[in-house]
Amino acid sequence: MVGFLDRALLQLRRADALTDLLKGAPVGPYPKLERLLQSVYRPDGAAVDSIADVTVRSVRPMVGLARKDAVNGTIQTSQPAYSLVTVRGDIARADDAQWAHVMAGVQLDVVVAVDPGGVESALTRAIENITSFDDFASRFRYLDLDSFLAERRITTVQQLRDDAEYLLAEVHFLAPPPFDPTDPANSHSVALDLAVTVVEQLDLGAGLRAARLLQAAGAVAPPASADPLLGPAATPFAVAVVFPAAELGPQQPTAAEVDELFAAAGVLPLFANPP
């Protein structure tokens, strides 16, 4: 007998069908899809304003992800200085794979606000004529004076003067221009992989377990390629769980409640109604 899983696989083998399922609406933006970006990338200096569009570029059904056991060890050495080195190895168990029902290559069209990070001016000057500890601290906007003196074992003002030649740098950064989400310069396309698992019933516990297993398989795999704007990737793929839409009803949790639960795990829940 053909069940929900089989019908979902038949439907989602088509890239356009998975694209429509991810969108959920014909017109963007699609705020829930920001979760896919957040689970793969940790942007530094770029803020995602919105997801304008999404396109599934490729679909691979039933992809096995080899499970790995991480082996961690610690080597301690002293040279004269103490150092700590962590050694890590992975043991792959090819006969015990975690399966994604669908592995999709997804393109997200993103509107991104980027911090230009430019420097407008920089001024460096020497700190001279130090008369007291309070005088020295007053030259800075913030200084933990007690920690500074204790770290250098300084107890007198004369020791402070003799310890080093102090420089104070004042840097002014360029103010970013007003952000315009309609400016084509703020549009960017991001490619990422999406691992999809299908659950036969509206079983939230089973869906979360399946998603966590996929995340665990990805945690010991090489991360995805870095993005020019969003920076290095933290994981190889995002994770989504497909539930039967027909089981949503008056006596069941709402789609919004399910989404809130899965958002805490960094997972995207989807609700399909395959023929």
Q: Are residues 136 and 242 in the same domain?
A: no
Q: Are residues 161 and 195 in the same domain?
A: no
pTM: 0.72
- Within-domain flag for 18: yes
Going by C-beta distance under 8 Å and a sequence separation of 6 or more, which residues neighbour residue 249? Answer: none
The residue range of the domain holding 30 is 4-67+95-114+179-272
pLDDT of 235 reads: 95
Q: Check if the beta carbon of residue 187 is closer than 8 Å to that of residue 180.
A: no
Report the DSSP beta bridge partners of residue 94.
none
pLDDT of 13 reads: 94
- Within-domain flag for 153: yes
HSE, CB side, 13 Å, CA atoms: give it for residue 60: 11
Report the DSSP beta bridge partners of residue 195.
103, 239
3-class DSSP state of 50: strand
Going by C-beta distance under 8 Å and a sequence separation of 6 or more, which residues neighbour residue 149? Answer: 133, 155, 160
User: Last residue of a domain, which of 154, 173, 192?
Assistant: 173
Helix or strand (DSSP H, E) at 125: strand 119-126
CA pair distance 41, 213, nearest whole angstrom: 19
Position 205, amino acid: G
**Owner of token pair 């014909």:** 26
Cβ atoms < 10 Å from Cβ of 1? 3
- Within-domain flag for 80: no
Overall number of domains in the chain: 2
CA pair distance 148, 155, nearest whole angstrom: 11
Query: How far is CA 197 from each of CA 50, 87, 216, rounded to the nearest angstrom?
Result: 26, 33, 14
Q: Check if the beta carbon of residue 48 is closer than 8 Å to that of residue 8.
A: no
pLDDT of 98 reads: 85
Q: Are residues 157 and 59 in the same domain?
A: no
Longest dimension (CA), the chain: 88
Tens-digit pLDDT profile for the chain (275 aa)? 789 999 999 999 999 999 999 999 888 899 999 999 999 998 777 888 999 999 999 999 999 887 666 566 666 666 555 666 666 666 655 556 789 999 999 999 999 987 666 677 888 888 889 999 999 999 888 889 999 899 889 999 999 998 888 888 888 877 777 888 888 888 999 999 999 999 999 999 999 999 999 999 998 888 999 998 888 999 999 999 999 999 998 889 999 999 999 999 999 999 999 98
Q: Check if the beta carbon of residue 112 is closer than 8 Å to that of residue 246.
A: no
pLDDT of 71 reads: 62
- Within-domain flag for 83: no
Query: How far is CA 47 from each of CA 13, 39, 111, 191, 209, rounded to the nearest angstrom?
Result: 33, 14, 9, 17, 31
Q: Are residues 100 and 185 in the same domain?
A: yes
pLDDT of 89 reads: 61
- Within-domain flag for 264: yes
